[in-house]
A and B are shown apart, each in its own frame.
Chain A
Amino acid sequence: MASVGPGREAETAGRLRLRRRTLLRAAGAAAGIAVVGRAGAGDTAHAAAPSGGATLIMAPSFVIRSLDPGHTLEPDGEMVTHACYDALVTFDGSDLSTPKPHLATSWKVSGGGRLYTFTLRPNVRFASGNPLTSADVKWSFDRVMNLQSNPAFFLANVEEVQAPDPQTVVLRLRTPQPSIIPILSNGALGIVDSKVVMAQGGDAGPDAKTKDHAEAWLQSHSAGSGPFMIQSYTPTQELVLVRNPTHWRAPARMERILLRHVPEASTQALQLERGDLDVAMSLGQENLGTLRRVPGVTIQTSLVATSFVMMVNMDSSLSGQLSNPKVLQAIRYALDYDGILAIAGPGAQRMAGVIPNDLPGALDPREAVKTDLAKAKAILKEAGLAEVKGRLMFASDSTSYGIQYSLLAQKIQSDLAAAGITVALDGLPGTIELGQYRAAKAPALFGGYAADYADATDFLVYLPGQLVGKRMNWPANASPAAQELAQWGDQATQEADPKARVTLLRKIQRRLLEIGPYAPLFTPALPFGYRSDLRGVTYNSVWEVDFYTIRRA
């Protein structure tokens, strides 16, 4: 998978990330053969605005399908919608565990977990000056649902949005779903100024899919209450945001945000070094060594909500003996996790289950399987499996979070060989490999599933019968144990008590490792760099960088 990014699907060279329902694939394909060089460094036009002062210059990967909250799902798009539109709830910095009140000051759950009642923050005004009321919230959510575009699945379980009074919003769900709170923090669910957008052809009715004509306008304008407003946007090249002087939390410190397209990792590194860029988000592991020695540049790594897992297809006509439960067990003991972590780069963490370490519900990394070659061999010997052969597919041109997939593939091959499991490496271009995986035809592979939203239940995709499970030909009715596991998954999705939920999620992951075709590898860390005079730069897995907290020392 150019990352098994079922979630954010294709992670390829550079860190182009697309999520589950996104259709943009061409960008990933284009990233195929990238010869990294510094030749292009001088080509990038300098923006008119001087670096320094109150302007922040950044180079995201610029995979932006839309800046309309009703359509956007790509992380770079969400970074912009997060800056321009306030959502009901939010998270602080890189944290993904504690949702914080934002436009909603409080919420109550009733009706057996199906009714969510939000009290809105009083006296909030949009950048246009219009007051923000519950009618805007209802209109925004209705529009997302009725547009049936990429982010619509966020609200798939919402039966109705009600606005009983100007300060109150009620979400009626079909089934209990506590993850709705973290979901509501997504930029796509930011509240839009219904009056302004309606004047631009916006529609939130049942026929919004055909009647709404506001997307074009929302590509170069914004209509939210957030700390920034879109000033101009030249697709794939440059995006300028200006400060909203009337933002309810007090105006942001930075006056302007300039997002520029700088395609190559080494070019970004060079520009950051020279001070032409303030923040660089696509730095390869191989550039970090030099950058760390540059005065005036700070390099950080941030754990991301992505789970890197090795997977084996349960269809033995594809995977041969690899799908034998004993072989799966031996694989988990044979992998040299410390070595794999060294390849994953600084900041990456050993992961015990399939839920990334930065989400509540993850297993304690200390619980993770320890490398034990002797045990792996003993298991195979006991099962009478002297010579196990298989095929490991990987995206030969892919790199995500600075991790080269071809290196990881060779590492896994060598680890398994030491235990007597011979896997042939089958390197394919990322887009083709992704296709094989989606068609449930990959014999064995590894990759990272990136969260669509900040909640552990997003990672139940690994369960039998769910998105990844199905791609491993592991249906919910595969066995009584799988059936039970699938049921636990449904329970966890609906469980309202956070403690009980965490307990259940841990139980699910432990069982998943007993009977499932997975070997969890690590939670990756994204290396990013910024000029050292900046304060408040954090990386969040859902919206990347929050411009509001950034200031110059």
Chain B
Amino acid sequence: MVPRSFARSPLTVGSVVVVAVWLALAAAAPAIAPHGPLAQDIANRLAPPGPAHWCGTDPLGRDILSRVLYGARLSIPVGIAAVALAVMLGTLIGSVAGAAGGIVDEAIMRLTDLMLAFPTVILAMIISAALGAGIRNAVIAIMVAWWPTYARFARGLVIGARDREYVEAARAVGASPLRVFLRHVLLNILSPIVILGTLDVGRAILTFASLSFLGLGPPPQIPEWGSEIAAGRDYLDQWWIATFPGLAILTLVVALNVVGDGLRDALDPRLRKA
């Protein structure tokens, strides 16, 4: 089903490979990480990259390569989960608005306008700080900050779909409103929403890393890219502490974004080149 234009761009293909490699590394981290992500070795603290520690060690003597690999096991699922939750919540609220119309629609849309007026990262920070630091709360924060985008999108799609002939037909044969909505409207608008969500996974990973950079993520011993960068920011002489987790975020997020763009271009007929 993937159009040929998608496969033809070397950048997109390369990015797919990068994402695939990261997924494989995350899955295989326990098998391939040279050290435990929590194993401290104070005598060997701040060791530069070398044969014993390919990416050096941090101020507690932990192996940075192992922590970066284990970090992927947290960042990728968290990014996907945060987006999935935001998509679900946003789609639900948005389609209710689109389907119901009138005052309900009006109220929900003004609420999304209100939410969208806040910069999302700041909003996520406030929510995360109010709920307390932690992975679960960071995911909730991203979900709460992001659902309005999906709600608007879903509402537009629902409004576009609700008067189509096949929906009319379903109504005409006497299907209940709920059945019409679930089987005929929702199912048909789902794929563009899922694609938009895929596009956002990279951004969610970045937002999660930002939150934990600010101390709003998991407890400090848990390997997580954002907090690893935060731990290294005072060590200008020991560049390797912040550099490797930084590279991890860079490669994964850029690759995810390129893949998302490629996917969008491929599936959007208006953008497809003749």
Contact = CB atoms under 8 A, between A and B. Distances in A.
Interface of A: 33, 35-36, 38, 266, 284, 286-287, 289-290, 336, 338-339, 342-343, 396-397, 399, 404, 406-407, 409-411, 413-414, 424-427, 429
B38 to A, nearest CB: 7
A425 B219 contact: yes
Interface stretch (B11-19, B107-115, B230-238, B257-265): B230-238
Given A36-B233, A407-B59, A424 B45 contact: no
Interface in B146-170: none
Contacts of B45: 342
Nearest to B233: A36
A287 B215 CA distance: 23
A424 B220 CA distance: 10
19 contacts: A33-B215, A36-B236, A286-B237, A287-B236, A336-B42, A343-B42, A343-B60, A396-B133, A397-B215, A406-B220, A407-B59, A407-B60, A410-B220, A414-B40, A414-B60, A424-B219, A425-B219, A426-B219, A429-B215
A426 B215 CA distance: 11
B176 interface: no
A287 B42 CA distance: 19
B21 interface: no
A38 B43 CA distance: 29
B236 A286 contact: yes
Contact of B219 (A33, A266, A343, A427): A427
A427 B220 contact: yes
A290 B43 CA distance: 21
Nearest to A426: B219
Given A286-B234, A411-B60, 10 more contacts: A286-B235, A342-B45, A343-B59, A396-B133, A399-B234, A410-B40, A414-B60, A426-B219, A427-B215, A429-B215
A33 B214 contact: yes
B9 interface: no
Interface in B58-92: 59-60
B60 A410 contact: yes
Interface in B219-242: 219-221, 231, 233-238
B8 to A, nearest CB: 42
Nearest to A392: B219
A195 B45 CA distance: 60
Interface of B: 38, 40, 42-43, 45, 59-60, 133, 214-215, 219-221, 231, 233-238
A217 B238 CA distance: 48
Query: Can you list the 4 inter-chain pairs with the closest CB atoms, starting with the nearest?
Result: A339-B42, A425-B219, A286-B234, A396-B215
A408 to B, nearest CB: 10
A409 B219 CA distance: 10
Contacts of B219: 424-427
Nearest to B237: A289
Nearest to B220: A406
Given A396-B220, A427-B133, A342 B236 contact: no
Nearest to A265: B234
B153 to A, nearest CB: 33
B221 A414 contact: yes
Nearest to A32: B215
A290 B42 contact: no
Nearest to B219: A425
Contacts of A399: 234
Given A342-B45, A409-B220, A404 B234 contact: yes
A228 to B, nearest CB: 34
A406 B59 CA distance: 11
Contacts of A410: 40, 60, 220-221
Nearest to A411: B60
A409 B231 CA distance: 13
B42 A413 contact: no
> Which of A33, A336, A410, A425 has the most chain B CB atoms closer than 10 A to its own CB?
A410
Contacts of B238: 286
A412 to B, nearest CB: 11
> Which of B38, B214, B234, B235 has the most chain A CB atoms closer than 10 A to its own CB?
B234
Contacts of B221: 410, 413-414, 425
Contacts of B233: 35-36
Nearest to B234: A286
A68 B267 CA distance: 73
